Amino acid sequence: MSLAEKYPKEVKQILAKYPPEHKRSAVMPLLYLAQREEGYITKAAMQDIAHMLDITETDVVSIVGFYTLYHDKKEGKYRLQVCTDLPCALRGAEEFLENLCGNLGIKIGETTPDGLITLEAVMCLAACDKAPMFQTQGPDGIKYHEHMTVDKTMELIEALKTSTGEAK
């Protein structure tokens, strides 16, 4: 089922924001819409968006690959993205991330065995003065978590497990 068939109202609203000669500008909102349900964008959805906007699949795939908000494969229900840019690193982000990996028993880029958390290192989340910090991406949107410690992060993860019914 195409994106337009699955979400006709939303697709129409997104496309209405752009003049027909600039409809390619709708690529990012359409990608976000395609990702909303499953947490990633399928190859079929990328092809559908390319066709809808009269752009190449390569154009769509390159946007998905460039931005950390778009994902092309299913991973954890929540993506925990820790900023490790230089200002955050100077405030302890790299040590925070390393300790978090140890507590979760995974490496950067991996997903916890329960499928709840995928841990990622990203560049610049625009909160350098509040590091260590990260954002979570999940079913409830994107949320910033600033001035974090590993203990506070593990409490957050436990709360996510409880709220999703995955706590044991």
Sign of CA dihedral 100, 104, 105, 106: negative
> CATH 1.10.10.1590: which residues of the chain?
3-66
Stretch 66-94: mean pLDDT, rounded? Answer: 91
- Whole-angstrom distance, CA of residue 45 vs CA of residue 68: 18
> How does pLDDT run across 92-123, given as a tens digit for each residue?
999 999 999 999 999 999 999 999 999 999 98
Percent of the chain with pLDDT over 90: 80
Q: Does position 27 have pLDDT exceeding 70, yes or no?
A: yes
Pairing assessment for the beta strands 78-83 and 134-138 based on DSSP bridges? antiparallel
pLDDT given at position 166: 65
**pTM of this structure:** 0.74
Q: What are phi and psi of 50, to 5 degrees?
A: -60, -45
pLDDT given at position 164: 74
Q: How confident is the model at residue 163 (pLDDT cuts 50, 70, 90)?
A: confident
CATH topology of domain 78-163: Glutaredoxin (3.40.30)
Q: How confident is the model at residue 165 (pLDDT cuts 50, 70, 90)?
A: confident
The CATH number of the domain covering residues in 3-66: 1.10.10.1590
Q: Which of 47-51, 76-80, 103-107, 136-140 has the lowest mean pLDDT?
A: 136-140
H or E stretch covering 83: strand 78-83
Q: Does position 39 have pLDDT exceeding 70, yes or no?
A: yes
CA gyration radius for the chain? Answer: 18
Stretch 69-80: mean pLDDT, rounded? Answer: 90
147 alpha-carbon distance from chain centroid: 20
> CATH 3.40.30.10: which residues of the chain?
78-163
- Answer whether 112's CB lies under 8 Å from 104's CB: yes
